[in-house]
């Protein structure tokens, strides 16, 4: 079975372990495409480096030796894990861009230039969310650098050139085309990869993906492979993202991302029908964080915004403190809301998306009651919360199929606050008469989400 790995295109050298760690420009015209790419390679190859890392692992055996120094087995030796990746020079001051997973947790980092000269490198900063890291080496005389290109100008079918150190073979060049854009491979919260069929393998991680002008339009990061080698499906972080992250790391050593403060879920057909909207495009605001920019701007629960993944990327790419305008759907009419983006904390780097399964049955499949006193002690249930407590969920019922759980609190049904099981029954009967799903708003350990149970 094929799998996606951040193959991690760096190559781990531990036996038996595969660690794949082993602005704007006009589109290129037909007249600008060379007969071959030798001139570009000759010019850019000195700016591409191999990266070797070492990680010393202090295992439990070493701890036992420390606690029992007279053990007859003798002292254990620390394990040394080595890995290989690629990178590219982005400034004459010696800054080098690579992948986070190539250098994460390393105790030693060295770069090897195309002339085989090796230099120690210092980690300037890294961003696990986008898998980008920046290193610094002492500048070399007349150091060759790369130039960033415009990944947004790249269209499927355009030439792509990858240079790196697959399997430790430095200075390897492969050529292909851009296969697709905006790929979400579930590798992280800000997935927006370029896909290429240029051959990339273990050890290519962190290397540049060039366009036909010799500009860097991506950072090679992951591949799809059933056996660990290239099958022509590789992914690169677009330069739009990589350049922004690298510039921030060089400037401050850390990343600042915009923060809106909403919890989102996808709009399913049942939710769309229950909300009275004609399309499943966009995202549903399940809850708004108190005191967040969205809360201050007056965004309310249940209002449609632009897609979950797109909204997450758009907010993260904006600088905290900048102004933003959101278009929401309220009662079938569109409104614009202006807000000032806040600062996202490191632990908040996530999409916040929650699942919203489908259902189609006439029975609720729920055993309901007022909220018991003991249930009010559960995390996230604020004092004074009104709602209906789910005691049991019948197997194979619409409620079970939609992910409702015992312990969930139904706060509203069809946007009507509820306090007694009879409130749910009334709204369920009304929804069945109207041949539309019942829209339930759930409180689950302090998190809000919407679930639509189809009435047929």
CA distances from 357 to 185, 271, 360 (A): 20, 10, 11
What is the rounded distance in angstroms from the CA atom of residue 342 to the CA atom of residue 316?
Answer: 10
CA dihedral 147, 150, 154, 158 (to 10 degrees): -20
Contact yes or no for 264/313 (Cβ under 8 A): no
Burial of 353 (0-12, 13-18, 19+ CB in 10 A): middle
Instruction: Count CB atoms within 10 A of the CB of residue 169.
Output: 11
What is the rounded distance in angstroms from the CA atom of residue 293 to the CA atom of residue 352?
Answer: 16
Catalytic residue set = 101, 131, 205
- Which uninterrupted H or E stretch holds 88? strand 79-89
What are the DSSP calls for 351-367, one per residue? Answer: ---B-------S---EE
SS3 readout for 179-219: EEEEECCCCCCCCCEEEECCCCCCCCCCCEEECCCCCEEEE
DSSP, collapsed to helix, strand or coil, labels residue 270 as helix
Instruction: Count CB atoms within 10 A of the CB of residue 44.
Output: 25
Contact yes or no for 212/36 (Cβ under 8 A): no
Facing residues of 196 across strands?
178, 234
> Which residues are CB-contacts of 386 (< 8 A; sequence separation ≥ 6)?
371, 411, 417, 418, 419
Burial of 433 (0-12, 13-18, 19+ CB in 10 A): exposed
DSSP, collapsed to helix, strand or coil, labels residue 121 as coil
What are the DSSP calls for 38-81, one per residue? Answer: HHHHHHHGGGEEEEEEEEEE--HHHHHHHH-TT-TT-PPPPEEE
What is the rounded distance in angstroms from the CA atom of residue 391 to the CA atom of residue 413?
Answer: 17
């Amino acid at each position: 079975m094929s799998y996606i790995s951040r193959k991690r295109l760096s190559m781990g050298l531990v036996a038996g372990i595969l660690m794949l760690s082993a602005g704007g420009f006009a589109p290129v015209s037909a007249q600008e495409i060379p007969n071959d790419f030798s001139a570009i390679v000759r010019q850019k190859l000195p700016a591409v480096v191999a990266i070797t890392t070492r990680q010393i692992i202090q295992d439990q055996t070493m701890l036992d030796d420390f606690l029992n120094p007279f053990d007859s087995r003798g002292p254990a030796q620390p394990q040394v894990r080595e890995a290989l990746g690629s990178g590219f020079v982005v400034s004459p001051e010696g800054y080098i861009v690579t992948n986070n997973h190539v250098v994460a947790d390393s105790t030693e980092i060295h770069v090897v230039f195309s002339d085989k000269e090796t230099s120690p490198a210092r980690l300037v900063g890294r961003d696990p969310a986008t898998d980008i890291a920046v290193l610094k080496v002492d500048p070399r005389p007349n150091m060759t650098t790369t130039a960033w290109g415009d990944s947004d100008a790249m269209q499927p079918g355009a030439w792509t050139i990858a240079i790196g150190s697959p399997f430790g073979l430095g200075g390897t060049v492969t050529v292909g085309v851009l296969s697709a854009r905006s790929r979400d491979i579930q590798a992280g919260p800000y997935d927006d990869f370029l896909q290429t069929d240029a051959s990339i393998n273990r050890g290519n991680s962190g290397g540049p993906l060039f366009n036909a002008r010799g500009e860097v339009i991506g950072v090679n990061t992951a591949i799809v492979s059933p056996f660990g080698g290239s099958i022509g499906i590789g992914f690169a972080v677009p330069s739009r993202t990589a350049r922004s992250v690298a510039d921030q790391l060089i400037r401050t050593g850390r990343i600042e991302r915009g923060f809106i403060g909403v919890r989102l879920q996808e709009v399913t057909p049942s939710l769309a029908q229950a909300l009275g909207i004609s399309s499943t495009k966009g995202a549903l605001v399940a809850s708004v964080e108190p005191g967040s920019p969205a809360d201050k701007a007056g965004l309310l629960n249940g209002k449609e915004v632009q897609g979950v993944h797109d909204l997450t990327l758009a907010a993260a790419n904006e600088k905290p403190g900048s102004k933003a305008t959101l278009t929401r759907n309220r009662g079938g009419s569109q409104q614009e809301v202006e807000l000032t983006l806040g600062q996202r904390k490191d632990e908040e780097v996530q999409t916040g998306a929650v699942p919203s399964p489908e259902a189609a049955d006439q029975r609720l499949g729920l055993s309901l009651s007022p909220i018991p006193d003991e249930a009010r002690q559960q995390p996230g249930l604020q004092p004074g919360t009104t709602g209906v407590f789910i005691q049991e969920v019948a197997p194979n019922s619409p409620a079970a199929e939609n992910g409702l759980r015992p312990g969930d609190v139904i706060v509203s049904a069809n946007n009507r606050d509820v306090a007694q099981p009879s409130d749910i029954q009334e709204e369920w009967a009304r929804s069945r008469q109207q041949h539309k799903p019942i829209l339930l708003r759930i409180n689950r350990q302090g998190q809000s989400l919407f679930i639509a149970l189809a009435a047929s």
